[in-house]
Amino acid sequence: MLFSKYFNSKKLGGVALPSLLISFLALVELTSLKGYSASVETIMFNTSWWMEDYFSVSLISLTMFVILISLIASDDDFMLDSSWSKFATMVVLIGLSCMCFFCCADFFLFFFFFESSLIPTAVLILSWGHQPERLQAGLQMIIYTVCGSLPFLVLLCGIWLDCGTDKMMIMCFTNQEMISESVVFWFLLMIGMLVKVPVFLVHGWLPKAHVEAPLSGSMMLAGILLKLGIYGICRVLLCVGIPPMEWVYVLMVVSLWGGVVCSFLCLCFYDIKSVIAYSSIAHMSLSLGGIMSLSQLGWMGGICMAIAHGICSPCLFSLANYTYMGSGSRSILLCKGLLKSLPMLSAMWFVFCAINMGCPPSINFFSECLLFCSILGYSTTLISSLFLLCFLAAGYSLFLYSTVNHGYQSFSLRGFSGLSLRFMVCMVVSMIILFGLFIFLDVVFL
Residue 282 has pLDDT above 70, yes or no: yes
Residue 405 lies in a domain: yes
Mean pLDDT, rounded, for 301-315: 91
Asked whether residue 313 is domain-assigned, the answer is yes
Is residue 54 included in any domain, yes or no?
no
Instruction: Please determine, for residue 246, whether its predicted confidence score (pLDDT) is greater than 80.
Output: yes
How many structural domains compose the chain?
A: 1
Q: Is residue 385 part of a domain?
A: yes
Whole-prediction pTM value? 0.87
Is residue 326 a part of any domain in this protein? yes
Asked if residue 378 belongs to a domain, the reply is yes
Q: How confident is the model at residue 343 (pLDDT cuts 50, 70, 90)?
A: confident
| Residue 271: inside a domain | yes
Higher pLDDT: 23 or 173? It is 173
What per-residue confidence (pLDDT) applies to 275?
Answer: 92
- Domain span including residue 255: 244-446
Evaluate whether residue 115 is within a structural domain.
Answer: no
Task: Give the per-residue SS3 of the chain.
Answer: CCCHHHCCHHHHHHHHHHHHHHHHHHHHHHHHHHHCCCCCCCEEECCCCEEEEHHHHHHHHHHHHHHHHHHHCCCCCCCCCHHHHHHHHHHHHHHHHHHHHHHECEHHHHHHHHHHCHHHHHHHHHHHCCCCCHHHHHHHHHHHHHHHHHHHHHHHHHHHHHHCCCEHHHHHCCCCHHHHCCHHHHHHHHHHHHHHCCCCCCCCHHHHHHHHCCHHHHHHHHHHHHHHHHHHHHHHHHHHCCCCHHHHHHHHHHHHHHHHHHHHHHCCCCEHHHHHHHHHHHHHHHHHHHHHCCCHHHHHHHHHHHHHHHHHHHHHHHHHHHHHHHHCCCECCCCCCHHHHCHHHHHHHHHHHHHHCCCCCCHHHHHHHHHHHHHHHHCHHHHHHHHHHHHHHHHHHHHHHHHHHCCCCCHHHHHCCCCCHHHHHHHHHHHHHHHHHHHHHHHHHC
Q: What is the pLDDT of residues 371-426, one digit of tens each?
A: 999 999 998 999 999 999 999 999 999 999 998 888 776 666 655 666 778 888 88
Which of 32-41, 118-127, 426-435 is the least confident region?
32-41
